[in-house]
Chain A
């Protein structure tokens, strides 16, 4: 996400459009979400490596913050069709294993 003190022109444009559409009282800041699939079991070392990747390339920490979290992977598509959450709190605790989402702004 863009740091709070950094102007977010995209978010401002979206906020304006929402207002025009009648969605009152919504203030938007826009970031990015990266879904990263990892081979093998997710360990602390692997997570640290992902954080390193986020810091090196995915996010520019001069202007953006990021967090890395593990999202549960469906056992099979039939059992958990909605396993990928569309919205989650910013600081979700890492789950044991599965898909990883790195969010940057």
Chain B
């Protein structure tokens, strides 16, 4: 027998995805088995969790994520996510999750009107999700942030519900880079299995290419969740 292989985590590649390879690599580095999923397929290949990566899927035509949300694979992702599969949307993936109504609200153009690319300080606000259980509440972390349309907006009632239910997962600190309401950088669904955030955990998994390795905790969290489930 070979070494124990970690859980199978799928990463969807849409036309225009950029960070799918980094996400696959991050899964491997953190001990999981990365599975590449193609947007035009209607199967999730028995993965136990799925990541919608960053990039400019379908050229961001119409609105970011608006067309990807109807890709064939998304019907399966939505079904699985609603059934409780851990689902993580990073940047463009977050936009897709909002367009798919798996998460409330929307992402609009940065209020600063320029593409923002920086190492962003964040505060962990909630650890009750399948992707953030290895963090501690109040922990200060730093992740790569790079987007043009990262301004999180939602109506007052939605914001109140997110806050009351502890579904704001990450908040920008030391300055709001894009005009997001309530400094929101990431949120989750009611069940805590679907998480979306604008910063990129997959870019912060080794010291060679990232200033921190804070992204690793996303992967260890979901591995913990999946191994506890069995």
Contact = CB atoms under 8 A, between A and B. Distances in A.
Interface in B18-76: 62-63, 66-67, 70
Contacts of B111: 7, 9
A6 B63 CA distance: 15
Interface in A1-30: 2, 5-7, 9-10, 12-13
Contacts of A2: 108
A28 to B, nearest CB: 14
Interface residues of B, number: 20
B156 to A, nearest CB: 9
A9 B62 contact: no
Contacts of A60: 63, 66, 99, 106
A68 interface: no
Interface string B91-111: 000000011000011101111
Contact of A62 (B67, B106, B110, B151): B106
Nearest to B114: A9
Q: Is the interface of B mostly helix, strand, loop or mixed?
A: loop
A63 B151 CA distance: 12
A10 B154 contact: no
Interface string A58-95: 10101100000000000000000000000000000000
A60 B66 CA distance: 8
Contacts, number: 36
A62 B105 CA distance: 6
Interface in B141-158: 151, 153-155
B79 interface: no
A5 B179 CA distance: 13
B229 interface: no
B106 A12 contact: no
Interface of A: 2, 5-7, 9-10, 12-13, 57-58, 60, 62-63
- In order of increasing CB-CB distance, the 8 nearest A-B pairs are A9-B109, A62-B106, A63-B106, A9-B113, A60-B106, A13-B113, A60-B63, A7-B111
Given A12-B113, A58-B62, A62-B155, 7 more contacts: A9-B109, A9-B111, A9-B113, A57-B67, A60-B63, A63-B106, A63-B108
29 contacts: A2-B108, A5-B155, A6-B153, A7-B108, A7-B111, A7-B151, A7-B153, A7-B179, A9-B108, A9-B109, A9-B110, A9-B111, A9-B113, A10-B109, A12-B113, A13-B113, A57-B62, A57-B67, A57-B70, A58-B62, A60-B63, A60-B106, A62-B104, A62-B105, A62-B153, A62-B154, A62-B155, A63-B106, A63-B153
